[in-house]
Homo-oligomer: A and B are copies of this chain.
Amino acid sequence: MNLLALAGGVGGAKLADGLQRVVGENLSVVVNTGDDFQLHDLHIAPDLDTVMYTLAGIANRANGWGIEGDTYNNLEMISQYGGEDWFRLGDRDLATHLLRSQMLRGGYTLTHVTRNLSNALGVRANILPMCNEPVATIVNTNAGELAFQEYFVHRRWQPILKSYRFHGIDKARVTPEITNAIQNAHAIIFCPSNPFVSIEPILSVKGMRDLLKKSRAPKIAVSPIVGGEALKGPAAKMFQELGMEASAFQVAKLLRGTIDRFVLDRIDEAQAPLIKDLGMRVWVTDTVMRNEVGRERLAREICEWVTR
């Protein structure tokens, strides 16, 4: 069974890892690159790296991002020089950015570079950046317009969100690799990632919604909001600041017309009828992936549900 997953950072990477454990190289993961940015003239792709490190089994277990056991001696020296040190680039992690940046300057696409790096790390799944063109998520907040990582990391998502946009999205195009992966997918899974700044940028790439609409594969979303809260990151806070209730039901409403199935946590079971009223089939289970076993269990349940 060929699976296609859409993912942002840590939460999405965990389910992608579970899916890889179930179908191996038959998994393709389309990853948000709207939070990519430049630091020390290097191309940093936080979501791509989180997915790659997680699928390679080397992600930091406590944070979810970065490499397990990485050191920060470079960062310490950057600080000593008075350089930008708010984004914690680890010494090993930095190798990814150095090689990626060099290959991109050499004219290779981000898709090619990502395949090259993830192959070297032994990743079995096919990690696909959402596009090869640069896209930059810009958030408009009570502290003014901020580049995404400035908001997310430097200011720890504390400014109040008013709106957001994806700079450069008008020039972004679905890649041949993504087209092929969607056309061959037997199921399409929207991982539990931030609907506004992880899933929406992917869906906003020209050609993406059309390709998904044309696919007759079941399209399943796993809610990133559980019990009214995000397991990680600012998703719940964003719902509220954008004038919406932070709930699985709201996630389903945002994805109405795009997905036809919804995976709901037991704690939110009371919302199942509301989501069914949107025309979706609902599967209620434990969606919190506490470890690798939990990731694989959830992935296997989803696969069994869609093939039943």
Contact = CB atoms under 8 A, between A and B. Distances in A.
A117 B81 contact: yes
A83 interface: yes
Contacts of A70: 73
A258 interface: no
Given A70-B73, A94-B94, A80 B120 contact: yes
Contact of A81 (B40, B83, B95): B95
Nearest to A104: B41
Contacts of A120: 80-82
B78 A95 contact: yes
B74 A94 contact: yes
A142 interface: no
Interface in A45-81: 67, 70-71, 73-78, 80-81
A105 B41 contact: yes
Interface residues of A, number: 31
A183 interface: no
A102 B71 contact: no
Contacts of A93: 77
Nearest to A69: B73
Interface in A183-242: none
Quick one: which of A75, A77, A81 has the most chain B CB within 10 A? A77
A244 interface: no
A270 to B, nearest CB: 47
Given A40-B98, A41-B102, A99-B40, A91 B73 contact: yes
A41 B42 CA distance: 10
A96 interface: yes
A306 interface: no
A48 to B, nearest CB: 15
Contacts of A98: 40-42, 74, 78, 83
Interface of A: 40-42, 67, 70-71, 73-78, 80-83, 90-96, 98-99, 101-102, 105, 117, 120-121
The 3 closest A-B pairs by CB, nearest first: A77-B95, A77-B92, A73-B91
20 contacts: A40-B101, A41-B98, A41-B105, A67-B77, A70-B73, A71-B73, A74-B74, A74-B94, A76-B92, A77-B92, A77-B94, A77-B96, A80-B120, A81-B96, A81-B99, A81-B117, A81-B121, A82-B120, A83-B95, A83-B99
